[in-house]
With several copies, the nearest count.
Chain A
C-alpha cells in the first residue's frame, strides 16, 4: 500500500510518498503504526483534527477500512480556489 503526504504533512514527514507493509485494518490503526515508528510521524499526526484523509483518492475518514485499498493520503484541510 502506498501512503502519500501533502503540504505541511509532507514537509514534517520529509517525503511525499512511501510504500508500507501493514496489517492495519483501518486508517486509525495505520496512523498509530506510523506514529510509533519515529518522532517525525508522531509530530505530523499529533493533532488528527488538523488532518484530512483520502482513501484511494476519495475523501474519507479515520474509521475507514483499508481492506483492498492501494493508496492512503494525509494532508491538511484544503485551500483551493
Chain B
C-alpha cells in the first residue's frame, strides 16, 4: 500500500498529497507531508543541482526505511517520491507523506523518513555553479540526527 518512486520526471505535489489522502479508512486523523526544494546557495550562484543515485539499491533502501516507519508508528500509509537528474533552484527534489491516527505519530514518522533518507538512501548531490561543479558534503548534523531514533 505504501508507494516509493525514484524518478527523473517532475511531479505535482498537490496532486500527490490529494491522491495520498484519498480513500483512507475513517481511523485516519493526521496527514503530514514534507517537500524538499532545490535551494540556491547563499551567494545565489547555483545554476543547477545534479542528483545521482544507485538504481536498484535506492528503491530497496527506501522500502526498508518506509517499512520500518510504518511498523514503528502504526502508519496507515506512507509515500516517498525522490527525483534524480538535473534540477534547477526552486524545483521540487522530493517529498514524503505519512498518515496515522494521531498527529505525533504522523510528524515523527515523517521526520524519521527524512532523517534516514538523507543519510541512508544512496543519493548524491552535485552543485553546479558559475564557478564549476562540486559534490555536496554530508553534514555531521544529518548523521547526528539519526541518533534521535
- In the assembled complex, the CB of B130 is this many whole angstroms from the nearest CB of chain A, namely 20
Distance between A53 CB and nearest chain B CB, rounded to angstroms: 11
**B56 cross-chain contacts in A, Cβ below 8 A:** 57
Residues of B close to A79: CB separation below 8 A: 118, 123-125, 135-138, 142
Residue of B nearest to A57 (CB): B57
Residues of chain B from 106 to 149 with CB closer than 8 A to chain A in the complex: 114, 117-126, 135-138, 142-143
Q: Of B36, B60, B103, B124, which contacts A78 at CB under 8 A?
A: B124
Interface string of A47-81 (1 = CB under 8 A from B): 00000001001110000000000000101111111
A4 interfacial by beta-carbon distance below 8 Å? yes
A54 partner residues in chain B, CB cutoff 8 A: 54, 57, 122
Chain B residue with minimal CB distance to A16? Answer: B52
B103→A7 contact, CB < 8 A:
no
Number of residues from A at the complex interface, CB < 8 A: 16
Q: At the interface, is chain B mostly helix, strand, loop or mixed? A: mixed
A75 adjacent to B60 (CB under 8 Å) = no
Give bound CA distance, A49 to B57, whole Å.
21
Q: Is B69 among interface residues, defined by CB-CB distance under 8 A?
A: no
Question: Which residues of the other chain, B, contact A59 by a CB distance below 8 angstroms?
Answer: 61, 120
Q: Are A4 and B54 in contact (CB under 8 A)?
A: yes
Q: How far is the CB of B81 from chain A (nearest CB, A)?
A: 12
**B142 surroundings in chain A (CB, below 8 A):** 79
Q: Which residues of A contact B119 (CB under 8 A)?
A: 77-78, 80
Chain B positions within 8 Å of A78 at CB level: 118-124, 138
- A28 and B87 alpha carbons, distance in the complex (Å): 36
Judge whether B79 is part of the interface by a CB distance below 8 angstroms: no
In angstroms, Cα B136 to Cα A6, docked, is: 13
Measured CA separation A8–B126 after assembly (Å): 9
From A4, which residue of chain B is reached at the shortest CB distance? B54
Cα–Cα distance between A6 and B61 once the two chains are bound (Å): 16
Q: Which residues of A have CB within 8 Å of B100? A: none
Once the chains bind, are A81 and B117 in contact (CB under 8 Å)?
yes
**4 tightest A-B CB contacts, nearest first:** A80-B123, A77-B138, A57-B57, A7-B124
